Chains A and B, each alone.
Chain A
Amino acid sequence: MGKKKPGIRDFGRNGKSELVHISQKDLMPLPDIPGEDTESDPIRSLTDRQKATYEHSLDGVSAVAVPCPKDEEEEKRLIKSFLEGLKKLLSREDNWMFLQQLQQTLDCCIKCQVCSDACAIYVASGRQEIYRPMFRSEVVRRIVNKYLKKGGRLFAKLRGNDIELNWTTIARLAELAYRCTMCRRCAAWCPMGSDSGLITHELRKLFSQEMGIAPKELHEAGSMRHLRVGASTGISPKAFGDIIAFMEEEIEEKTGKKIKIPVDKKGAEILLIHNSGEYLSWIENPAAFAVIFEEAGLNWTLSSELYGYEATNYGVWYDDVQFGRVALRQIEVAKKLEAKKIVIGECGHATKGLVILADRMLTGDFNFPRESALPLLENIVCTNRIRLDPRKNDFPVTLHDPCNIVRLMGIIEPQRKILHMICPRFREMEPHGVDNYCCGGGSGFAIMSHMNFSDWKLTIAGRIKVKQILDAFKDVRDPSVKKYVCAPCSNCKAQLRDLLAFYNLQETHGISYGGLAELIANAMVDLKKPFIEW
């Protein structure tokens, strides 16, 4: 290709035109997918009205819907606000929670590009310069060095701080903060301990916490709605009651077991909290949990209190304040119920958020015991607390490792031990475990699909995952053989659902997806009907 790749120097230039335009032939090939060799652009162009309304000069995609400033005055105000926010990111008061790691990352990059090869998005996009993990960090690093440090403008070029801070730079950065799933594979790869995923996180925080700029799905319709209604899905306690009743019916019909799902039981051993999206889109997952927990004789409960039936916490992805607000309210519910501990269902960001990220925000009796459901499921399955027959799962199964649970929490083996016990045709995808690739829906992407962003996340962010899944089932291509991608995470499931549909993999390859609990329930010996419906 003769076209010149855009460098960091171009980042603040030519704000009227797109820095890159991605065409189909740029992308990493997917030879097993028919129709992938078309000439048409993988990403729909924005409409003229959208182009006139929203910033899109990075790559022609608008994930954040940043409004174009009306005049120069507004641009100036925004630039000032951005610099204010950047200062706050480096402040011991306003960003004590991430200051150490941020400074480490800003100081320690030696531009060895190990992270570039680690990045699913960079590789799948056909190595677009702007998607390098360190590209984003480098823009921020240069701005900090040049505009915030004393004498930063002296010999800026010689010292590698060659950047122009203007509205174009900021608008492109806002979008660029949403071209990374924060899977932090790059961070795990970095020999220097730099963390470009963290830069994404901090940038999103700067835009949200200082400038009020965040994707609608995450903020207005996400964490704000969560704080207002009790769940980001909008499920109210009243609706929750109706859904639980329906779930009980479902369970009876499928399993022949009449179960009264414990709700708001005081003093239970376990308060189980699911991502509330499970109830709407994948109700078989919470249903499977109920069946398994009841069969194992656990002392558990769900909560129908405001905030008590929603594990998500979108603040994890973009805003520390919103994160803290939600986490405190979730703990409050558990305290009021006098549960012994909170167990979080199959949801990656929620587990990492509440178990790990909240750890150093909670003090006194708010420091409530919290854990992932996976070790508990492992204990139930591997110590034979319920009767299971692996022959019932006699179909090819592969496992997707949710980044938040696996690389970022170190929960690697429980899900594997379970699958080895109950799925005779289980096979790993490559690479897996802590080396896994993100599904492409991480950091909120699975629920973001405004304008043309879903084209981007399906053709680029999820591209490598599609290849991995196809490779894992290479030996059984026949679409009449049902295959199952197990993804113990709501966000990953939403992305997988959209990927399988987009690439038509259910029809052409017989590939379905679902959670882990469903496979366990499906293997239970005394069910009336198979638990998994294909």
Chain B
Amino acid sequence: MAKTTLGGVEIEIDEDGFIQEPEKWNKEVAEDLAKAEHAFPMGDDHWKIVNYLRDYYVKYEIAPPIRMLVKQTGIDLKTIYKLFPNGPAKGACKVAGLPRPTGCV
């Protein structure tokens, strides 16, 4: 584990840059995370995805099914990969401050 400064706050991150203290997440943190994920500057679609992931996570403590993300945001998978080159699980979830996805996903 390592500490780093994101959005002006010191946050613990894991070896792959997922933040370990989800309560410290905010817009500025997200933008700094997005820089490392080649998803900066963040446009409306970035935020749409990030906000949806966050909301789902707050409710169910996991990231939603990829299909659900695509359907509910109306942004197809190809575009998601363009917005977040590392894909929905490793890219978008990281920016949204979710923990690293676990299990066979």
Residue among A50, A281, A501 with max Cβ neighbours from chain B (10 Å) = A281
User: Given B16, B61, B105, which contacts A280 in the complex, CB threshold below 8 Å?
Assistant: B105
Given contacts A233-B62, A239-B60, A284-B67, contact A449 B16 (CB under 8 A): yes
Alpha-carbon distance between A235 and B57 when the two chains are bound, in angstroms: 11
A243–B65 touching, CB < 8 Å: yes
- Chain A residue numbers with a CB within 8 Å of B16 are 449-451
B-side contacts of A243, CB under 8 Å: 65, 68
Q: Is A196 an interface residue (CB 8 A)?
A: no
> Once the chains are docked, how many angstroms separate the CA of A65 from the CA of B15?
10
The CA-CA distance from A281 to B103 in the complex, in Å, is: 11
Interface hits, B40-85 → A, CB 8 Å: 60-68, 71
Instruction: Provide the residues of chain A in CB contact with B60, threshold 8 Å.
Output: 236, 238-239, 242
Residue A277 CB within 8 A of the other chain: yes
Q: Given the complex of chains A and B, what is the CA–CA distance between A238 and B87 in angstroms?
A: 26
Interface of B, secondary structure class, is loop
Q: Say whether A277 contacts B15, CB under 8 Å.
A: no
CB < 8 Å: which of A65, A238, A250, A277 contacts B103? A277
Interface residues of A in 456-494 (CB under 8 A from B): 490-491, 494
Give Cα A449–Cα B18 distance, bound, in whole angstroms. Answer: 13
| Cβ contacts under 8 Å, A221 to chain B | 100, 102-103
Q: How far is the CA of A235 from the CA of B105 in the complex (A)?
A: 12
In B1-20, the 8 Å CB interface with A consists of: 2, 15-16
What is the minimal beta-carbon distance from B9 to any residue of chain A, in angstroms? 20
The answer to whether A281 and B15 touch across the interface, beta carbons within 8 angstroms, is no
A277 to B66 alpha-carbon distance, docked (Å): 11
Q: Is B101 an interface residue, CB under 8 A from the partner?
A: yes
- Which B residues are CB-close (under 8 A) to A393? none
- Chain A residues with CB under 8 A of B2: 49
Asked if A447 and B67 sit within 8 Å, CB to CB, the answer is no
Is A236 within 8 A of B102, CB to CB?
no
What are the residues of chain B within 8 A of A65 when measuring CB–CB? 15
Q: Which residues of B contact A225 (CB under 8 A)?
A: 102-103
Most buried by A among B60, B87, B100, B105: B105
CA distance A450 to B16 in the complex (A): 6
Check A246 against B65 for contact (C-beta < 8 Å): yes
Q: Mark A224-253, 1 if CB is under 8 A from B, else 0.
A: 011000011111101100110010001000
Question: Which of B67, B87, B100 sits near A250, CB closer than 8 Å?
Answer: B67
Residues on A with beta carbons closer than 8 Å to the beta carbon of B105:
233, 277, 280-281, 447, 494
Q: How far is the CB of B101 from chain A (nearest CB, A)?
A: 7
Q: Are B61 and A233 in contact (CB under 8 A)?
A: no
Contact B15 A50 (CB under 8 A): yes
Q: Are B62 and A239 in contact (CB under 8 A)?
A: yes
